[in-house]
Amino acid sequence: ELAKGVNGLDKVVLRGARGSSAEVYLYGGHVTSWKNDHGEELLFVSSKAIFKPPKAIRGGIPICFPQFGSHGTLEQHGFARNKLWSIDTDPPPFPTNSSNKAFVDLILKPSEEDAKIWPHSYEFRLRVALGPGGDLMLTSRIRNTNSDGKAFSYTFAYHTYFSVSDISEVRVEGLETLDYLDNLQEQERFTEQGDAITFESEVDKIYLSTPSKIAIIDHEKKRTFVLRKDGLPDAVVWNPWDKKAKAMADFGDDEYKHMLCIEAAAVEKPITLKPGEEWKGRLELSAVPSSYCSGQ
């Protein structure tokens, strides 16, 4: 259903069979809420988030396209997260989920203004779906519709802000022993050690060619997020910690304790599409009580 969100911005509310829900703003094609069957919010959105163009909403799942971070000449994280998307009334057939009614299809196409910043024609289709078990699924399909025969390249991320009870009690599994680029050390390349990742200071790393499954274990909440991705080889891990938190106008000073960004991404190797070619990048999130995961 279409509803009015903060500042009268349009949002789509999805409702799952057993009480789960999700909200997607047309502004940014931005998921701002994902709740489980018990109505508990699973994503972090800052209490200071500004729901007003051209500022991207601080929290939820911003979409970084066609540039991740400062890896290029465009504005930080590209422009998709601060454009007004439309409901896609004519989505292409999707292989799965056709019987599942809790989904919405959005589309972003460049305006004439946009084409001055990034001189390419494309169709970016985003499907956001709630699975029967309350899982949240995002599928992006990007097609090169250039008529001048030119290929284009981009980097991409689902910049997901997970809600956690206490960052100091959180562990991330699935990134051990991998190579990463450290944004806090001029993108130098390092190799992660064998242990699960824990947090005690600012972190801003791009893990390269990761497994498709990453787990975020929140001991205090006794909850595990499982992230599955497809078409997105890298994973960004970000927490601003106290100093950077204070420097961000749209982020509370202490909120870094209650969030963690794990971002399914394609950064190291940009994706190149020739005219007529389409790319697909999928993210699937589930949240399960930790006791169910023991022994796995």
Q: Could you tell me the smallest distance in angstroms from the CB atom of residue 251 to ligand BG6?
A: 8
Residue of 23, 173, 255, 263 with catalytic role? 263
Q: Could you tell me the smallest distance in angstroms from the CB atom of residue 156 to ligand BG6?
A: 12
Question: Is the CB of 56 or the CB of 142 nearer to ligand BG6?
Answer: 56
Longest dimension (CA), the chain: 55
Question: Is the CB of 130 or the CB of 264 nearer to ligand BG6?
Answer: 264
Q: Which of 36, 262, 33 is nearest to 161 (CA)?
A: 262
Question: Is the CB of 193 or the CB of 249 nearer to ligand BG6?
Answer: 249
Please enumerate, as own/partner, the contacts of 227-231 that have beta carbons within 8 Å and a separation of 24 or more: 227/160, 227/262, 227/264, 227/283, 227/284, 227/285, 228/282, 228/283, 228/284, 228/285, 229/158, 229/264, 229/281, 229/282, 229/283, 229/284, 230/280, 230/281, 230/282, 231/266, 231/279, 231/280, 231/281, 231/282
Which phi and psi (to 5°) does residue 90 adopt? -135, 60
Question: Is the CB of 14 or the CB of 260 nearer to ligand BG6?
Answer: 260
Active site residue 176: no
Quote the CA–CA distance of 129 and 103 in Å, as a whole number.
4
Active site residue 159: yes
Q: Could you tell me the smallest distance in angstroms from the CB atom of residue 181 to ligand BG6?
A: 10
149 in the Ramachandran plot: left (φ > 0), alpha (ψ -120 to 50) or beta? Answer: left
Question: Is the CB of 43 or the CB of 236 nearer to ligand BG6?
Answer: 236
Site residues (CB under 6 A) for ligand BG6? 56, 69, 76-77, 159, 183, 204, 236, 238, 263
Q: Could you tell me the smallest distance in angstroms from the CB atom of residue 58 to ligand BG6?
A: 7
Residue of 159, 173, 268, 284 with catalytic role? 159
Q: Could you tell me the smallest distance in angstroms from the CB atom of residue 288 to ligand BG6?
A: 25
Active site residues: 159, 263
